[in-house]
């Protein structure tokens, strides 16, 4: 292994020291023009909170890339419209899979886009904000560093990471720093986070790669196996929203499932009801419920008593699946409540952290990142 040593003479130091001083001054200057932001970097959607302004961006985590030139064609809502409708040279993909970075460069470009969008009416070119980002619990150090470095390369001058269940608990105003057990279940697009929180820390945590996307995949597989019908991911999601449920409904719901007949290759449509879709998603739903039970079983008795009193709090898009709260209550015998505005709980939590980073620093995740000394 070769080592390179740079030696500077006194004249070189006279030039270099002022340069570093100027760079530091410029960093602070650009930072003063920047707006601190909190980001819920989700597999399905990215939400951005600006300090003093609230939630200003809620767009799909989708990027359209021209494969021939490598150029970004569209990001967010515009790119989501292209999914399944692009020509061969353009691919509309998600740069995050199961809540972690799968394409570093595209994630970086997406973050740059959102940071610019926040600062479009100010000094956007020089924006150097402080950023708080929610990440799934249980991710590896490498995955944490990937998120942090993507944010730094996108223009952030300081990056703080917080586990999404902790951010969600803060966002729904649970007493996370008190000696009281709170249980939160965050059902997102790529992952589900289950956490029991007390005294500013996560006592028990479970992370499953079963969430909204997996339920969509269940519906696609069901259509293929039962009806020999090929569905797109967006169609499956629309069906889930229209008639999906975890618990038997009082009045049946029906929807038209449209796709391509795998036998004839021609368009085909089938009428399905809530019972069909419930059957399609049953295995994944009960896998989530069993994980919730396992988390409770691993919790100290004193905290279980607190949870019995305060209940299980559901957040994330998956919490809106009809009857899911009722089924969890029936299976666990614990009260269950869907948080107000469950889709924004995590990003609201990052916003609260931004308002008082110093007093909430103990709730953040350490990545061991250190600035290179100059």
Measure the N-to-C terminal CA separation of the chain; round to a whole number of Å.
Answer: 23
Q: What is the pLDDT of residue 346?
A: 95
Q: What is the pLDDT of residue 7?
A: 46
Residue 273 belongs to domain with CATH number: 3.90.640.10
Residue 249 and residue 114 in one domain: no
Residue 79 and residue 93 in one domain: yes
Cα-only R_g, the chain: 23
- Give the pLDDT band (50/70/90) at residue 86: confident
- pLDDT over 60 at 22, yes or no: no
Residue 257 and residue 317 in one domain: no
- pLDDT over 60 at 29, yes or no: no
Positive/negative CA dihedral, 340, 345, 350, 351: negative
Residue 144 lies in a domain: yes
Residue 131 CA to residue 144 CA, distance in Å, equals 14
Residue 214 structure tokens: 């997996």
What's the mean pLDDT in 187-203? 94
Residue 332 lies in a domain: yes
For residue 173, what is the DSSP state?
A: T
Residue 193 and residue 310 in one domain: yes
Residue 46 and residue 117 in one domain: yes
Tell me which residue of 355, 308, 349 sits closest to 329, measured CA to CA.
Answer: 308
Q: What is the pLDDT of residue 34?
A: 65
Residue 26 lies in a domain: no
Residue 123 lies in a domain: yes
Residue 159 and residue 49 in one domain: yes
SS3 98: coil
Question: Is the CB of residue 334 less than 8 Å from the CB of residue 305?
Answer: no
Residue 144 and residue 41 in one domain: yes
Tell me which residue of 173, 171, 165 sits closest to 204, measured CA to CA.
Answer: 165
Q: What is the pLDDT of residue 121?
A: 62
What's the mean pLDDT in 285-298? 97
SS3 41: strand
What's the mean pLDDT in 175-191? 94
Residue 370 lies in a domain: no
Q: What is the pLDDT of residue 3?
A: 45
What's the mean pLDDT in 271-280? 97
Residue 19 lies in a domain: no
Q: What is the pLDDT of residue 122?
A: 57
Residue 49 and residue 74 in one domain: yes
Tell me which residue of 213, 167, 170 sits closest to 190, measured CA to CA.
Answer: 213
Q: What is the pLDDT of residues 253-268, one digit of tens each?
A: 999 999 999 999 999 9
Percent of the chain scoring above 90 in pLDDT: 56
- Give the pLDDT band (50/70/90) at residue 319: very high
Residue 224 and residue 106 in one domain: no
- E strand or H helix at 27: helix 10-33
What's the mean pLDDT in 125-136? 81
What's the mean pLDDT in 281-286? 97
What Å distances lie between residue 27 and 20, 24, 196, CA to CA? 10, 5, 39
What's the mean pLDDT in 9-35? 49
Residue 65 belongs to domain with CATH number: 3.30.420.40
pLDDT averaged over every residue in the chain: 86
Tell me the residue range of the domain where 193 lies.
Answer: 175-210+289-343
Residue 10 lies in a domain: no
Residue 192 CA to residue 208 CA, distance in Å, equals 5
Q: What is the pLDDT of residues 44-78, one digit of tens each?
A: 899 999 988 899 999 999 999 988 888 889 998 88
Q: What pTM did the predictor assign?
A: 0.84
What domain count does the chain have?
A: 3
Q: What is the pLDDT of residue 125?
A: 52
Q: What is the pLDDT of residue 8?
A: 46
Q: Of 281, 313, 335, which residue sits at a domain end?
A: 281
């Amino acid at each position: 292994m070769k080592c390179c040593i740079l030696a500077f003479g006194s004249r070189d130091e006279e030039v270099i020291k002022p340069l570093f001083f100027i760079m530091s001054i410029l960093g602070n200057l650009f930072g003063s023009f920047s707006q601190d932001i909190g980001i819920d970097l989700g597999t399905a959607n990215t939400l951005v909170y600006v300090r003093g302004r609230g939630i200003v961006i809620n767009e799909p985590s989708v990027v359209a890339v021209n494969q021939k030139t490598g150029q970004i064609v569209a990001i967010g809502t515009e790119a989501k419209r292209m999914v399944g409708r692009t020509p061969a040279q353009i691919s509309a993909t998600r740069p995050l899979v199961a809540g972690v970075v799968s394409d570093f460069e595209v994630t970086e470009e997406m973050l740059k886009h959102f940071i610019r969008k926040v600062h479009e009416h100010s000094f956007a070119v020089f924006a150097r904000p402080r950023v708080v980002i929610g990440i799934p619990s249980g991710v590896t150090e490498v995955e944490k560093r990937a998120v942090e470095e993507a944010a730094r390369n996108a223009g952030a001058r300081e990056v703080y990471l917080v586990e999404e269940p902790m951010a969600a608990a803060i966002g729904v105003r649970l007493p996370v720093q008190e000696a009281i057990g709170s249980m939160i279940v965050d059902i997102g697009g790529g992952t589900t986070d289950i956490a029991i929180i007390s005294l500013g820390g996560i006592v028990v945590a479970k992370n499953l790669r079963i969430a909204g996307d997996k339920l969509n995949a269940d519906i696609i597989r069901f259509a293929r196996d039962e009806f020999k019908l090929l569905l797109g991911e967006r169609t499956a999601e629309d069906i889930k929203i229209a008639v999906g449920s975890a618990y038997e409904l009082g009045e049946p719901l029906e929807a038209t499932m449209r796709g391509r007949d795998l036998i004839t290759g021609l368009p085909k449509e089938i009428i399905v009801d809530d019972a069909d879709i419930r059957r399609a998603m049953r295995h994944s739903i009960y896998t989530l419920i069993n994980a919730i039970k396992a988390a409770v079983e691993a919790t100290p008795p004193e905290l279980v008593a607190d949870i019995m009193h305060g209940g299980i709090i559901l957040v994330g898009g998956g919490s809106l699946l009809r009857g899911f709260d009722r089924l969890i209550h029936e299976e666990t015998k614990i009260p269950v409540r869907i948080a107000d505005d469950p889709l924004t709980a995590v990003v609201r939590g990052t916003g609260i952290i931004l308002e008082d980073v110093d007093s909430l620093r103990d709730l953040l995740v350490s990545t061991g990142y250190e600035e290179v000394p100059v």
